[in-house]
Amino acid sequence: MTKLKIGLVGTGYIGKIHALGFRNAQALFPDLPPIELTTICDAEADRAERMRKELGFLYATDRWRNVVEDPELNIIAIATPNFLHHEMATAALKSGKHVYCEKPMGVSLDEACDMADAAARANARTLLAYNYLRSPAFIHAQKLVRGGRIGRIFYFRGVYEEEYMADAEVPFSWRCEKVSAGAGALGDLGSHLLCAAVSLLGAPLEVSADINTVIPTRLLAGENAKQRTVENEDIAHALLRFPEGVTATFMTSRVSWGRKNHLSFEIYGENGSIRFDQERLNELQFFEKDVAESENGYRTILTGPSHPPYDHFIPSAGHQIGFNDLKTIEIAEFIKAISEKSPLFPSFHDGVTIEKTMDAILQSAASRKWVTVDAPIELN
Amino acid sequence: MTKLKIGLVGTGYIGKIHALGFRNAQALFPDLPPIELTTICDAEADRAERMRKELGFLYATDRWRNVVEDPELNIIAIATPNFLHHEMATAALKSGKHVYCEKPMGVSLDEACDMADAAARANARTLLAYNYLRSPAFIHAQKLVRGGRIGRIFYFRGVYEEEYMADAEVPFSWRCEKVSAGAGALGDLGSHLLCAAVSLLGAPLEVSADINTVIPTRLLAGENAKQRTVENEDIAHALLRFPEGVTATFMTSRVSWGRKNHLSFEIYGENGSIRFDQERLNELQFFEKDVAESENGYRTILTGPSHPPYDHFIPSAGHQIGFNDLKTIEIAEFIKAISEKSPLFPSFHDGVTIEKTMDAILQSAASRKWVTVDAPIELN
Amino acid sequence: MTKLKIGLVGTGYIGKIHALGFRNAQALFPDLPPIELTTICDAEADRAERMRKELGFLYATDRWRNVVEDPELNIIAIATPNFLHHEMATAALKSGKHVYCEKPMGVSLDEACDMADAAARANARTLLAYNYLRSPAFIHAQKLVRGGRIGRIFYFRGVYEEEYMADAEVPFSWRCEKVSAGAGALGDLGSHLLCAAVSLLGAPLEVSADINTVIPTRLLAGENAKQRTVENEDIAHALLRFPEGVTATFMTSRVSWGRKNHLSFEIYGENGSIRFDQERLNELQFFEKDVAESENGYRTILTGPSHPPYDHFIPSAGHQIGFNDLKTIEIAEFIKAISEKSPLFPSFHDGVTIEKTMDAILQSAASRKWVTVDAPIELN
Amino acid sequence: MTKLKIGLVGTGYIGKIHALGFRNAQALFPDLPPIELTTICDAEADRAERMRKELGFLYATDRWRNVVEDPELNIIAIATPNFLHHEMATAALKSGKHVYCEKPMGVSLDEACDMADAAARANARTLLAYNYLRSPAFIHAQKLVRGGRIGRIFYFRGVYEEEYMADAEVPFSWRCEKVSAGAGALGDLGSHLLCAAVSLLGAPLEVSADINTVIPTRLLAGENAKQRTVENEDIAHALLRFPEGVTATFMTSRVSWGRKNHLSFEIYGENGSIRFDQERLNELQFFEKDVAESENGYRTILTGPSHPPYDHFIPSAGHQIGFNDLKTIEIAEFIKAISEKSPLFPSFHDGVTIEKTMDAILQSAASRKWVTVDAPIELN
């Protein structure tokens, strides 16, 4: 198999985890083609060089254009702040690269659509990094739902809460600015939950939403105590309608004291229900109606080798995989789809559905009306 | 102290639990005036007499009017299906009785308002049986919120789910008919959750809602296999706005496989958060920001004597009170308010707030617009 | 049916809960014969009179002998400190009464044996108040085990921990004295766990044990700051062997910060396992091997009407019964056994098995040898 | 820094996870010296070559002696069945290598002592792979205990249960033979729990134990249906005494339906208590007495960057590390100790304490007497 050469742009929190994923994908998924950690890029040259050494890349640079246009590279991984996604991704696609990009797609629906168009024109695979789809427990939930194990769906209820901006002392950052981040909690957290919902239920048809910014100003760090207005939402609530009459309650917040990574959803159907909580990512709660009443209750399923691809990591149940393993799974899926030319969710095309839903939520919150989501989608 | 004489109308599920509460209130709350279980009423004379004997009342009757107008009685407890509440309660009030009535108030907002008017005209105390307010864990949550322990409120998220109609084989009953029940899940379950929210946050200002009837017809029991249309909702979702900018997500369902009594809410504020789940009614989850990060997490508080009125039941923590004890607490509170002429929540007056909110939810679901809830309220 | 007249001795913590149980038994279990709360006794005459009024007895007295020998009474309930059980119970039995007595039986094995002898000579029913046997969840666990649902038993693991003496500031009390209490944590808490184990597995055959008193002296309350030596154990650990080769680990402590009522056990067999925790008394965890691996896990069963006698209290699952309800169930079982002359566990005869096991544990801890428990028993 | 060259013997379940750990250690812990995955060894040459390629080693061999004696290598990792540990480890030490060896040490106490002697004679670092010590939650528990946060220890209670041999259909394997495995559940699982206990409490002083083999014969796989006698224990129970009067209950089993990786312990002291469960390895339960009673309860701490070395993996709390990350931490600690010549627990020297305790448990079970553990130890 031909070696796939990787260029990674961004070396922060998630960039480093990208690097680890590329580094480990083939060891854990031996059927993949060989992967070369070729070039790593950071705006600071020193950091780029340091991370190159630490993470095992061959080259370092502080010029992202050199990476995305490098004819030697096959795959570009984008792990930069949201406002850079669009320019980098479209340039990479134009240059014929497969693109793996952090979510959300950009800072506006226009950017997202443009990225999807660029992907459609390119002969390349794209993947958005909605990594929580890769939990073996989530994958099993998906299998149960798609396999009809809970029957016709009655409704969905989901929440994604974190506390990272709950403290009013947390300073103003790029995450608070529309031009750099686009949406607030909705883009950073809610998009993950929407992606999970879309993968289970299809594209939403319409939404009614409400948003709130409960800490309206924050201190600009490093400057002389100036307060700046937070431009996007701390909290978003929404009602959603999905195909086949499925209704849903949705909620996301970045100001939730006590919640570290509370991506949690429940899905109820005519024959049972399923509950998932990313704070216990190795567990799944499953209830089936057809058990004697006196003995029935939610089963706490601990993930194990019977929940692929857990088996690629550890041969025994209950030992648990972690967040970084999800990223490795995601990257392995991407490489596999490239190598097998097989479909993959969520591509840039699919991502537009999520972006349109977010856009509709923000529109609905502004207009205080139900808003139609125009987002046809085919799930693979 | 003068003895208070009780007339109880209705001897089904909840009527029996009323009787036990009246029977035990004074033994557990010795400061209360004496209570006499005077008259019990059921539409079937035989059953009335049997329940009289079992539950220890002095008299039995199958004529409810004789009870609510009996000049010997001081308190009327109404534990009948919803469509009877209005007529019974207004008659009892007219006859000068204190009235303790099951929720929701009636089958329409008009009935509810009329009941509140009757209460206003009467020189009597009223109480609606929103018994979940009486959990010591809930009372403690209330105390924490009101005492400012989580600071300014950021948002509320609540759900009340049960599975009692999840099976499509559950036959059509009075609960499915507008004329007998009014709303569906919203009236039976959601009203409890709204009452909890109102007691914590005040009256909602406006709502946007969606409802669904996922099992649209059910077989009429006892008849020749005829399907009847279910007239009210199996599921209701809503966004709510409360005073002081508090937003909320709300959801209720009677078709939730796996959920037995899942009245659960979370409330997040600037200094912490609180989680409550009626399926573990003796527990409360509390998170405070001011603990060292490495040692912080939700505290699982087990109720005990430091959470009044738990101490009236058992002198040790962790032993747990049960649902029927909540009813005894509720009745004791009612008797106390009568005897001390002290305020009590939720009276018929307060109940109108809940009914108006439910009405607004149904209106919003029909009009697909935000609807203002016109419900000023003073919490005691 | 003839009315059963009750004499209750002791009006403290548990005495009051006895009274409530007798008060409610017939209302909740209508097939029982009528019960009269006849005489209540407390060593303080004032308190006796006050409790008479509060709890609804006809007569009050401060002379327990007058109660246990009163020819009008049928049942004597003993809710006094341990050192009084023997004298009161044997006198009551001699006087022909049925005796319901708090656990443990007395302050020594000799007392216990003497009580059992007195019961054997009398034509009367006896019941020891091991109330945790009455949890519907526990009863269901018993049914699963006895019905062979987990097959041949592999082992048992149990613990009963509370924190009521974890604070070194808790003063010396009768519980710390051999002459008043007999054993320490073992008698107060461990005996409950042993009773549960015996009811599931039969009488233990032999034990190896270790005990510890981690707070060796405590201040005598109300006196001038004198430290007294605690005479019994704060903690007991034991290995037990039951019939048919079942081994077990056992542990009890009264000095366990964080534990309010942690009576918890797990039982593993060839086809599954069961877990119970009294701090969540309305739940049972059940695992069966014969479920597809990818979908299997402990089922969290919430008690409901399918777990008798829960149905006598509330017609819906998940609403939860409480500690005081367990006491009512226990009393109802006692009354029923009297009225139907049916067997009942644990009688004074059965209780000797528990006392012999406790005695063997203390002997083993002293001799540091395995000690045989000489306690043949027939479970009903 | 000089490059450290690794030779790995064994490529099964845990061998592969070793390889991943060595592969990632430096990327996650950049201060470590560089690591080279030099030689990988499996008894089957084909497999060795395949794993070489998959896991990224330079050389493959089927001759372990060539590895442990290769003068180019610095570190030997031993991931073979127990009966091979002794010969491989002593040869490696003799050849001057640092040795990282799977637990338990060998198949007998003699082997273990001999390994420790070899380590003492060699100028080399040794580490036993008790990987559960590396959970950030466990490390935090250790810090709390050692920092006096729960004060003087009252007692310890621990269990390690899995279900991997609960099914009587699981065939006979090397794990069932004394000559290949040594002890049964005790060696495979219990040793982990003992190691955790020793690291928290010091070396045990004496034990009383009981063991059981509940499935006494198993079918020899691959042969003509012959049953073979299982030679070691399925279950071990023990009472332990640690220094300073700390008592403990201990239990391990490999036949526990429903348990996947239930390494769980609780430790109670004069000021609080701590609970840990490896099935939720990213959580720690902590109770401190000095919180107002009405607000106190176990805190569910989710691990995060404030629990090193979690921060090396992910910058946000609640995202969770997994089992393979524990192995990477372990390997990083080993490399660091080699490079800094700093102490490390548990070395072969420390391991003898665990082996002596296991030996004492087996002796006690055989003699049915308390057995002294002769195992002085200094914890670093």
Q: Running DSSP on this structure, what letter comes out for residue B293?
A: G
CB contact under 8 A, B289 and A237: no
| pLDDT score of A380 | 45
CA dist list (Å): C280 to C136, C155, C175: 12, 22, 26
Report the C-alpha gap between B244 and B229 in whole angstroms. Answer: 41
Q: Is the peptide bond before D305 cis (omega within 30 degrees of 0)?
A: no
Which residues in chain B are contacts of D317 at CB distance < 8 A? 293
Contact call for residues C267 and C274 (beta carbons, < 8 A): yes
Residue B223 has pLDDT above 80, yes or no: no
Q: What average pLDDT score do residues C98-104 get?
A: 97
Q: Is the peptide bond before A204 cis (omega within 30 degrees of 0)?
A: no
Mean pLDDT taken over chain B: 96
Closest partner residue to B287 (CB to CB) among A253, A255, A258 is: A258
Q: How many CB pairs under 8 A join B and D?
A: 49
pLDDT band at C376 (very low <50, low <70, confident <90, very high): low
| pLDDT score of C8 | 98
Query: Minimal Cα distance from B209: which residue of A?
Result: A239
Distance from CA of C205 to the nearest CA of A (A): 32
The chain C residues in contact with chain B (CB within 8 A) are: 13, 17, 19-20, 23-24, 26-28, 30, 50, 53-56, 162, 164, 259-262, 279-281, 302, 304, 313-325
| pLDDT score of D223 | 66
Report the C-alpha gap between D37 and D24 in whole angstroms. Answer: 11
CB contact under 8 A, B154 and A241: no
Closest partner residue to C24 (CB to CB) among B24, B53, B280 is: B24
**Which residue of A154, A163, A275 is the best one to mutate when testing the B interface, meaning the one whose CB has the most B CBs within 10 A?**
A154
Distance from CA of C197 to the nearest CA of A (A): 21
Query: Minimal Cα distance from C238: which residue of D?
Result: D239
Domains of chain A, first to last: 4-131 (3.40.50.720), 134-321+347-372 (3.30.360.10)
CB contact under 8 A, A260 and D317: yes
Query: Minimal Cα distance from B325: which residue of C?
Result: C322
| pLDDT score of D380 | 45
Report the C-alpha gap between B162 and A154 in whole angstroms. Answer: 13
Residue A303 has pLDDT above 70, yes or no: yes
Closest partner residue to D296 (CB to CB) among B294, B297, B301 is: B301
Tokens representing residue B44 in the block = 């079937």
Residue B380 has pLDDT above 70, yes or no: no
Other beta carbons less than 10 A from residue D302's beta carbon: 24
The chain A residues in contact with chain D (CB within 8 A) are: 13, 17, 19-20, 23-24, 26-28, 30, 50, 53-56, 162, 164, 259-262, 279-282, 302, 304, 313-325
CB contact under 8 A, C286 and A297: yes
A4-30 pLDDT per residue, tens: 999 999 999 999 999 999 999 999 999
Helix, strand, coil percentages for chain B (3-state, nearest 5): 40, 25, 35
Residue A224 has pLDDT above 90, yes or no: no
ipTM: 0.95
Closest partner residue to A298 (CB to CB) among C140, C291, C299 is: C299
Other beta carbons less than 10 A from residue B29's beta carbon: 18
CB contact under 8 A, A249 and B237: yes
Query: Minimal Cα distance from B210: which residue of A?
Result: A239
Query: Minimal Cα distance from B163: which residue of C?
Result: C317
CB contact under 8 A, A294 and C301: yes
Residue D317 has pLDDT above 60, yes or no: yes
CB contact under 8 A, D272 and C257: yes
B301-312 pLDDT per residue, tens: 999 999 999 999
Q: Is the peptide bond before A104 cis (omega within 30 degrees of 0)?
A: yes
CB contact under 8 A, A306 and C294: yes
Q: What average pLDDT score do residues D81-100 get?
A: 97
Q: What average pLDDT score do residues B246-252 get?
A: 98
Residue A339 has pLDDT above 80, yes or no: yes
CB contact under 8 A, A301 and C307: no
| pLDDT score of C222 | 74
Closest partner residue to A20 (CB to CB) among D19, D27, D262 is: D27
Percent of chain D whose pLDDT exceeds 90: 95
Percent of chain B whose pLDDT exceeds 90: 95
Report the C-alpha gap between C276 and C268 in whole angstroms. Answer: 12
Contacts of A212 (CB under 8 A, 6+ apart): A233, A234, A235, A236, B154, B155, B245, B247
Contacts of A27 (CB under 8 A, 6+ apart): D19, D20, D23, D54, D55, D56
Residue D378 has pLDDT above 70, yes or no: no
Question: Cα dihedral angle (D339, D342, D348, D352), rounded to 10 degrees?
Answer: -170
CB contact under 8 A, B299 and D304: no
Residue B291 has pLDDT above 80, yes or no: yes
For the purposes of burial, counting CB atoms within 10 Å of the CB of C372, is it exposed (0-12), middle (13-18) or buried (19 or more)?
Answer: middle
The chain C residues in contact with chain A (CB within 8 A) are: 140, 144, 284, 286, 291-302, 304, 306-307, 317
Mean pLDDT taken over chain C: 96
Closest partner residue to B294 (CB to CB) among D292, D295, D306 is: D306
Closest partner residue to A299 (CB to CB) among C144, C298, C302 is: C298
E-strand ranges in D90-219 read: 98-101, 126-128, 153-161, 206-212, 217-219
**Which residue of A294, A301, A303 is the best one to mutate when testing the C interface, meaning the one whose CB has the most C CBs within 10 A?**
A294
Which residues in chain D are contacts of B295 at CB distance < 8 A? 144, 286, 299, 301
CB contact under 8 A, C251 and D157: yes
| pLDDT score of D235 | 98
CB contact under 8 A, C294 and A302: no
Report the C-alpha gap between D380 and D376 in whole angstroms. Answer: 13
B62-92 pLDDT per residue, tens: 999 999 999 999 999 999 999 999 999 999 9
Residue keyed to tokens 């046997």: C133
Distance from CA of B253 to the nearest CA of C (A): 15
CB contact under 8 A, C286 and A295: yes
| pLDDT score of A223 | 66
Percent of chain C whose pLDDT exceeds 70: 98
Q: What average pLDDT score do residues C78-107 get?
A: 96
Which residues in chain A are contacts of D162 at CB distance < 8 A? 316, 318
Q: How many CB pairs under 8 A join C and D?
A: 136
pTM: 0.97
Closest partner residue to D23 (CB to CB) among A27, A53, A315 is: A27
Distance from CA of B198 to the nearest CA of A (A): 19
A10 phi and psi, to 5 degrees?
110, 130
Query: Minimal Cα distance from D169: which residue of C?
Result: C270
**Which residue of A153, A156, A157, A170 is the best one to mutate when testing the B interface, meaning the one whose CB has the most B CBs within 10 A?**
A157
Residue C379 has pLDDT above 70, yes or no: no
Which residues in chain C are contacts of B260 at CB distance < 8 A? 302, 304, 316-319
Sheet with strand A126-128: strands edge to edge:
A59-61, A35-41, A4-9, A75-78, A98-101, A126-128
pLDDT band at C374 (very low <50, low <70, confident <90, very high): confident
Query: Minimal Cα distance from B301: which residue of D?
Result: D297
pLDDT band at D44 (very low <50, low <70, confident <90, very high): very high
Q: What average pLDDT score do residues B23-30 get?
A: 95
| pLDDT score of C378 | 55
Which residues in chain A are contacts of C304 at CB distance < 8 A? 293-294
| pLDDT score of B378 | 54
Distance from CA of C189 to the nearest CA of A (A): 29
